[in-house]
Protein backbone atom coordinates (compact mmCIF):
# COMPACT_ATOMS: atom_id res chain seq x y z
CA UNK A 1 0.00 0.00 0.00
CA UNK A 2 1.38 3.42 -0.90
CA UNK A 3 1.87 6.36 1.36
CA UNK A 4 -1.04 8.74 1.74
CA UNK A 5 -0.46 12.45 1.56
CA UNK A 6 -2.02 13.86 4.71
CA UNK A 7 -2.23 17.54 5.29
CA UNK A 8 -4.28 19.88 7.39
CA UNK A 9 -7.49 21.38 6.11
CA UNK A 10 -10.18 23.66 7.45
CA UNK A 11 -13.94 23.35 7.41
CA UNK A 12 -14.11 25.89 4.60
CA UNK A 13 -12.33 23.30 2.41
CA UNK A 14 -15.38 21.04 2.79
CA UNK A 15 -18.48 23.24 2.51
CA UNK A 16 -21.69 21.96 4.08
CA UNK A 17 -25.15 22.18 2.46
CA UNK A 18 -26.33 24.53 5.22
CA UNK A 19 -24.14 27.23 6.69
CA UNK A 20 -23.20 26.65 10.30
CA UNK A 21 -22.68 29.41 12.84
CA UNK A 22 -19.18 29.73 14.25
CA UNK A 23 -20.54 29.13 17.73
CA UNK A 24 -23.97 27.89 18.72
CA UNK A 25 -24.95 26.61 22.12
CA UNK A 26 -27.18 23.58 22.24
CA UNK A 27 -30.77 24.52 22.87
CA UNK A 28 -32.97 22.20 24.88
CA UNK A 29 -36.24 23.12 23.14
CA UNK A 30 -37.21 19.50 22.42
CA UNK A 31 -36.57 18.47 26.02
CA UNK A 32 -38.76 21.25 27.38
CA UNK A 33 -41.46 20.75 24.71
CA UNK A 34 -41.83 17.10 25.76
CA UNK A 35 -42.44 17.92 29.40
CA UNK A 36 -38.98 17.20 30.75
CA UNK A 37 -37.04 19.52 33.01
CA UNK A 38 -34.02 21.29 31.60
CA UNK A 39 -30.57 20.15 32.64
CA UNK A 40 -29.05 21.64 35.73
CA UNK A 41 -25.65 23.30 35.38
CA UNK A 42 -23.00 20.60 35.06
CA UNK A 43 -20.94 21.89 37.97
CA UNK A 44 -23.90 21.48 40.33
CA UNK A 45 -24.48 17.94 39.04
CA UNK A 46 -20.81 17.10 39.51
CA UNK A 47 -20.82 18.44 43.08
CA UNK A 48 -23.86 16.32 43.92
CA UNK A 49 -22.31 13.24 42.31
CA UNK A 50 -19.08 13.65 44.28
CA UNK A 51 -20.97 14.23 47.52
CA UNK A 52 -22.89 10.99 46.95
CA UNK A 53 -19.51 9.22 47.30
CA UNK A 54 -18.54 11.24 50.36
CA UNK A 55 -16.18 13.46 48.41
CA UNK A 56 -16.03 17.23 48.54
CA UNK A 57 -17.35 18.65 45.28
CA UNK A 58 -15.25 21.81 45.46
C-alpha torsion 1→6→15→24, nearest 10: 120
CA distance linking residue 43 with residue 35, whole number of Å: 23
Q: How far apart are CA 55 and CA 15, in angstroms?
A: 47
According to the model, what pLDDT value does residue 58 have? 59
Q: What is the pLDDT of residue 40?
A: 87
Taking only the tens of pLDDT, the chain with its 58 residues reads 678 888 888 878 887 777 766 666 677 888 889 999 988 899 999 999 999 999 875 5
Q: Considering the entire predicted model, what is its pTM? A: 0.41
36 closest CA partner among 28, 25, 26: 28
Distance CA 48, CA 40 (A): 11
Amino acid sequence: MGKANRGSCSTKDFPRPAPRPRYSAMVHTAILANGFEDFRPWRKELEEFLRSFGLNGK
